[in-house]
C-alpha cells in the first residue's frame, strides 16, 4: 500500500498467500495493492507497479511555487518557480538529460517509469523531480504510519 501509492489495505487472503510464499525463500515477482514485489532469497525489491500507470495513471499536477504537492500518493514535490507540472517518467525517459537518465538507471528497470518528472510550461524537456525543486519520498513515512511505528508526531519528519 505504501509503495503502491494507494489507500486500501491488501485483502487478508492475498496478504496471507504472500507471507506463506515469502517464507519459502523462493525467487518470485507478484503485485499487491499497486506495488510490485520481487522476492529473492536474501532480500526484497518493493516499488510502484509500472503497469498501474496504464490501468490507473496518476494525474499530472500543476505545481504552485513554495507549496508542497503530493503526487501519486508517494512523492511530496515542491518547486520555487511557476510553470512546472509533475507527471510520470514513463514516455519521457528518452528525453531526460544524461545525468537524469544515469540517476534512473540506478533503479530497477520496472521502477524507472514510475518516478516523477517535471515539465515546464508544456516544454518537451522534462527533468527528474528533485533536480529542480525538492522531491521527497513518502513511502517510508507511510509505511511507518501503517505499522504504528510512529509514536509521536515529531517522529514524522
- The per-residue DSSP string of the chain comes to -TTTT-SSPPPHHHHHHHHHHHHTT--EEEEETTEEEEE-SS-EEEEE-TTHHHHSPPPPEEPPTT--EEETTTEEEE-SSSSEEEEESTTTGGGS-HHHHHHHTTS-GGGGGGSEEEEETT-S--EEBTTBSEEEE-HHHHHHHHTT---SGGGG-
Domain boundaries, the chain: 12-156
pTM, rounded to two decimals:
0.74
- pLDDT (tens, 9 = 90+) of the chain, 157 residues, equals 666 666 677 778 888 888 888 888 888 888 877 777 888 888 877 777 777 666 777 899 999 999 999 998 889 999 999 999 999 998 899 999 999 999 999 988 888 888 999 999 877 789 999 999 999 988 777 666 666 665 655 555 5
Amino acid at each position: 500500500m505504501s509503495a503502491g501509492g494507494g489507500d486500501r489495505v491488501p485483502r487478508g487472503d492475498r496478504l496471507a498467500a504472500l507471507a506463506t510464499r515469502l517464507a519459502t525463500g523462493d525467487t518470485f515477482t507478484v503485485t499487491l495493492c499497486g506495488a510490485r514485489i520481487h522476492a529473492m532469497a536474501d532480500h526484497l525489491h518493493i516499488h510502484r507497479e509500472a503497469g498501474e500507470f496504464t490501468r490507473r495513471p496518476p494525474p499530472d499536477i500543476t505545481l504552485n511555487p513554495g507549496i508542497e504537492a503530493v503526487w501519486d500518493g508517494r512523492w511530496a514535490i515542491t518547486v520555487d518557480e511557476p510553470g512546472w507540472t509533475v507527471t510520470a517518467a514513463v514516455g519521457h525517459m528518452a528525453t531526460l538529460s544524461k545525468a537524469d537518465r544515469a540517476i534512473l538507471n540506478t533503479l530497477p528497470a520496472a521502477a524507472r517509469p514510475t518516478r516523477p518528472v517535471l515539465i515546464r510550461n508544456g516544454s518537451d524537456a522534462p527533468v527528474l523531480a528533485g533536480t529542480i525543486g525538492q522531491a521527497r519520498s513518502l513511502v517510508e513515512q507511510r509505511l511507518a504510519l501503517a505499522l504504528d511505528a510512529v509514536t509521536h508526531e515529531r517522529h514524522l519528519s
